């Protein structure tokens, strides 16, 4: 079995509206703003963390816990530009914008969204975008942190694209 790489194998879109987060339509995903062509190589963050609920009792001789609430860290980092695609990305990812960050892994990014594909869907609101500090020999990039506004269909529990 071969190891999986990232290069060219991640598709990312910012979608304004979805009728069903568990089964987004291929048409809705296609209508979203395509991001993978503008994101830096390490410009996608979709991490999660789980809190613990202490279940230890007064008579316990060791600590015990069960899983608690999950917190998701979601955001992107894109390269600025003045072509139509770059402007579309910059105009979509403004402070306060609400939508869905949709991520498909392990399939060439050039493959169109289609039924039965697995996709992570994060309902998000854009926080304050932050441009990188000026630097020699560097492209202008903008870090866009996001907050997850409701239960996502994340890694390990993805949505399935509907026709």
Domain assignment present for residue 77? The answer is yes
Domain assignment present for residue 95? The answer is yes
Domain assignment present for residue 18? The answer is yes
Give 121-151 pLDDT, tens digit per residue.
Answer: 999 999 999 999 999 999 999 999 999 999 9
Distance, in Å, from the CA atom of 85 to the CA atom of 37, rounded to the nearest integer, reads: 9
Which residues share a beta bridge with 159? 119
Counted domains in the chain: 1
Domain assignment present for residue 84? The answer is yes
Read off the CATH number of the domain in which 23 is found: 2.40.30
Domain assignment present for residue 4? The answer is no
Half-sphere exposure of 9 (CA within 13 A, CB side): 8
Report which of 105, 158, 161, 96 is spatially closest to residue 124, judged by C-alpha positions. 96
Domain assignment present for residue 3? The answer is no
Domain assignment present for residue 114? The answer is yes
Domain that holds residue 81: 10-160
Give 76-119 pLDDT, tens digit per residue.
Answer: 999 999 999 999 999 999 999 999 999 999 999 999 999 999 99
Q: What angle do CA 88, 90, 95 make, to 5 degrees?
A: 125
Domain assignment present for residue 5? The answer is no
Q: What's this model's pTM, rounded to 2 decimal places? A: 0.92
């Amino acid at each position: 079995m071969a190891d999986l790489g990232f290069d060219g194998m991640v598709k990312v879109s910012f979608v304004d509206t979805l009728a069903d987060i568990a089964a987004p339509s291929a048409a809705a995903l296609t209508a979203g703003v395509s991001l993978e062509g503008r994101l830096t190589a390490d410009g996608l963050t979709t991490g999660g963390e789980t809190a613990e609920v202490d279940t230890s009792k007064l008579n316990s001789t060791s600590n015990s816990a069960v899983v608690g609430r999950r917190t998701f860290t979601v955001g992107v980092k894109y390269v600025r530009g003045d072509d139509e695609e770059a402007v579309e990305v910059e105009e979509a990812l403004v402070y306060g914008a609400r939508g869905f960050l949709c991520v498909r892994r392990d399939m060439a990014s050039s493959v169109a969204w289609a039924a039965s594909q697995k996709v992570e869907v994060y309902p998000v609101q854009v926080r304050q975008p932050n441009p990188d500090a000026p630097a020699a020999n560097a492209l202008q990039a903008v870090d866009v942190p996001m907050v997850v506004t409701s239960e996502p269909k994340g890694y390990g529990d993805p949505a399935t694209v509907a026709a």
